[in-house]
Structure 1
Amino acid sequence: MVGRLELTLDSKEIDYKNSSNLQGVIMENIDNEYADILHTQGYNPYSQYVYTKDNKVIWCINTLDEKAYDKIIQRLLDDKFNEFTIKNRETPIKITEKRIQKKSKNLFLEEFYNVKGDKYYNIQFITPTSFKSNGRYMIFPDLRLMYKSLMKKYSASSTDMDMYDEDTLEQLIESSEITRYRLQSTVFPLEGVVIPSYKGSLSIRLHGNDTISRYARLLFSFGEYSGIGIKSSIGMGALKLLNDLK
């Protein structure tokens, strides 16, 4: 099961630049034992980011398995968690609304088997996105890095399904083509340094058979919860699939 908690914040000053501080808020409000586990393991079963919609600031927290949902989202749903403070800001930030969404992972597979794939997938990178390859930050979308990131995140979140497969990865790459993009380079601030990254949107055309198109859709749909690329637990790589399932 994946989950999403959207918190509407009574503040116009919070944006993605505060994301690493917001991760600290999460850690302060969950069990210390579980927080310690998250700090020591290589895989984070959650992502979080900030975005603005209808002139409202929304903090979105996603969990990728049931344990993370119970330990993170359930704790933040507590009525007592109605405001918080972040580093270098004394005034508490009030939470004016909470919205919750849950989705069984079986639904991703049901959509894979029952809904025909599209020829084009339109992707929006909501927050600064970056990948690291050979020790360097990659600030332009690379299909291999994109698909590989999503496959590994899906596999890490599932105890009974390994999504990562080199042959399938190669099929996805060979069958995909970036046909249109509107991107801008940017940076993501993190503890005194900045990470080169990009934001914007792109369209991917699938040339392969319908099965490979469905596979790509499954990965992008999951990516709406997991994020894509590096540091999705501190606000980077928030992704939205703009295609509507038919």
Structure 2
Amino acid sequence: MIQNFQYLIQTPDGTSIPSFWAYRLYAALLEQLPVEFADAVHEQGFSAISQYIRFDHEKHQSIWVVSLLTDDAISYCAPILTNITHLSLHESTIIIKKIQQSDVLTADTIITQAEQLSSSQAVRIVFHNAASFKSNGIYQIFPTVPLILQNLLQRWNEFFPEMLLEDDDAIQMLTNNLRIRSYRLKSSTYRLKQSSIPGFCGEIIISSKLSPPMLELWKMLLIFSEYTGIGIKTALGMGGVSIFV
């Protein structure tokens, strides 16, 4: 199951928060949780939490988006996230105001949402902050359809084992019938502790020539991506996306 929270965040003097502070907010949140759960989160291949900071340019506000991706994460974190008002970092105290809290979502909920989306064959994916992939030990700083699909399919199967997506023919049809039609991207790095991870941010438009059943599957993965993020280190603040169909 999945639950999503969104917050307006700022420092006491009203300063907006840079996206790379998402890692610090994540660390501060883990400090509020039982040690056994925090340790388990670190040990998982895919974290039970995905989170990032995006900047709303129209309102000049920093928004913290947190998604809980497992039953345990919801059980441990939701009570804290429901009532949280601030987090203390070394640099500053972050004032937190909740602006949205979703109902608990299931795989069936996501499928229903996908059915309600437009049947447009084109989708715009906005990468709000630095995103990256890693293949053969090398950071990939440009998105490709196979990298995006592989990442989302692995995550789906990790979090919804009761509804595995393992049909090789279906996956090949997705890969063959999706293409990046246009992009407005720039290179970006994500500062993490003592290192900087190379990546990209901006937006891409992916067009498709999918049959209706395959288009439903693609839309389902797209909706899922808004909660999980796309790429590596989404628990630490990378890869936050919004989907526009």
TM-score for the superposition, normalised by structure 1: 0.91
C-alpha contact 1:148 1:169 (8 A) present in aligned 2: no
Aligned to 1:60: 65
User: Does 1:29 find its partner at 2:38?
Assistant: no
Q: Which moved more, 1:35-44 or 1:180-189?
A: 35-44
Aligned to 1:71: 76
Query: What's the secondary structure of 2:162's corresponding residue?
Result: coil
Q: Distance in 2 between matches of 1:176 and 1:98?
A: 35
Aligned to 2:225: 223
Shift, 1:242, TM fit: 1.1
User: Does 1:17 find its partner at 2:20?
Assistant: yes
Aligned to 1:100: 101
Identity of aligned residues (%): 25
Query: After the TM superposition, which segments of 4 or more aligned residues of structure 1 sit over 4 Å from their partners?
Result: 112-116
Q: Which moved more, 1:46-55 or 1:95-104?
A: 95-104
Equivalenced residue count is 239
Query: What's the secondary structure of 2:55's corresponding residue?
Result: strand
Shift, 1:124, TM fit: 0.6
TM-score for the superposition, normalised by structure 2: 0.91
C-alpha contact 1:51 1:58 (8 A) present in aligned 2: yes
C-alpha contact 1:178 1:203 (8 A) present in aligned 2: yes
User: Does 1:183 find its partner at 2:185?
Assistant: yes
Query: What's the secondary structure of 1:14's corresponding residue?
Result: coil
Shift, 1:193, TM fit: 1.1
Q: Distance in 2 between matches of 1:2 and 1:19?
A: 20
C-alpha contact 1:130 1:196 (8 A) present in aligned 2: yes
Aligned to 1:8: 8
Matches within 5 A, 1:163-242: 163-242=165-244
Select the residue among 137, 143, 146 that pairs with 1:144: 146
What stretches of structure 2 of length at least 5 have no aligned partner? Answer: none
Shift, 1:13, TM fit: 4.2
Query: What's the secondary structure of 1:232's corresponding residue?
Result: coil
C-alpha contact 1:121 1:217 (8 A) present in aligned 2: no
Query: What's the secondary structure of 1:140's corresponding residue?
Result: coil
Q: Distance in 2 between matches of 1:13 and 1:192?
A: 23
RMSD: 1.7
